[in-house]
Amino acid sequence: MYVIVVGAGRTGSTVIELATRDDHEVVVVERIPELAEEVSTNYDCLVINADAASKDILAEAGIEEADALISTTASDSTNLMISMFGKQYGVETLVSSINDPENIELFEDLGVNIVESPHRLNGQYLYRAVQHPAIQDFMSIAGEAEIFEASVEAGAPIAGLSLIDADREDLLPEETIIVAIVRANGELLIPQGETEFQAGDTVTIFARNGARNGITEQFVGDGP
């Protein structure tokens, strides 16, 4: 995966550490020389010491080839501008931190996956959003165990199947529990064996071994 990370502060550096550890191709844009130098010294990635709120700089970072663009600056206006550039260049996954909840709608209108609370503002959350775009929220419990929400996209392998059918087709790993399903109309279901997954559902999942591709890919459609 080709990932561009804008900002190398506390949050950004965590994203960089996780992404480089997983051997993704990472490009970092950081305007503060000291932070840029620190990242260049500690991580195997390309670092551009510049202001990312510029098409020319993002082009230099390879935005046309990027699979994901993560913006972690302290300025919502900067993060929004960067996300707009990412949208314009067709970057598949856009992720951003957000500092003022009043700006949530602006980011959501762009289709940006956001972290809106300072208490949740951490690199692990942002990186997870890139790894598994179907995930809307997650919480670690103990060890690798996690509870997370995933949206069922049209054309997803699990769409139209009941819990029994999904289990029969081995779409969900062992020690995975479907806790709840919220329909697109807001109806809350406590799923039983015959309960079907529908496109637009938000599904709450417990996974003892955490969110894995083997789980999240079952909720992702084939695209337009």
Q: Which residues pair with 148 in a beta bridge?
A: 138, 205
Are residues 123 and 156 both part of a single domain? no
Q: Is 224 inside any structural domain?
A: no
Of 87, 105, 131, which residue constitutes the final position of a domain? 131
Q: What is the pLDDT of residue 123?
A: 67
| 8-state DSSP, 65 | T
**Distance of alpha carbon 127 from alpha carbon 154, whole angstroms:** 24
Of 131, 155, 190, which residue constitutes the final position of a domain? 131
Q: Is 144 inside any structural domain?
A: yes
Are residues 198 and 111 both part of a single domain? no
Are residues 117 and 150 both part of a single domain? no
Are residues 73 and 159 both part of a single domain? no
Is the CB of residue 11 less than 8 Å from the CB of residue 36? no
CA angle 114, 116, 121 (to 5 degrees): 90
Of 90, 106, 131, which residue constitutes the final position of a domain? 131
Are residues 125 and 141 both part of a single domain? no
Are residues 177 and 68 both part of a single domain? no
Are residues 19 and 106 both part of a single domain? yes
Q: What is the pLDDT of residue 157?
A: 94
Host domain of residue 209: 137-219
Q: Tens-of-pLDDT digits for all 224 residues of the chain?
A: 999 999 998 889 989 999 999 999 999 999 999 999 999 999 999 999 999 999 999 999 999 999 999 999 989 999 999 999 999 999 999 999 887 878 888 998 888 887 654 444 456 666 666 766 666 666 666 667 888 888 899 999 999 999 999 999 999 888 889 999 999 999 999 999 999 999 999 999 998 877 676 788 899 887 55
**Distance of alpha carbon 79 from alpha carbon 75, whole angstroms:** 6
Q: What is the pLDDT of residue 138?
A: 61
How many domains would you assign to the chain? 2
CATH number for the domain that contains residue 94: 3.40.50.720
Q: What is the pLDDT of residue 119?
A: 43
Are residues 109 and 63 both part of a single domain? yes
Are residues 118 and 180 both part of a single domain? no
Q: Is 81 inside any structural domain?
A: yes
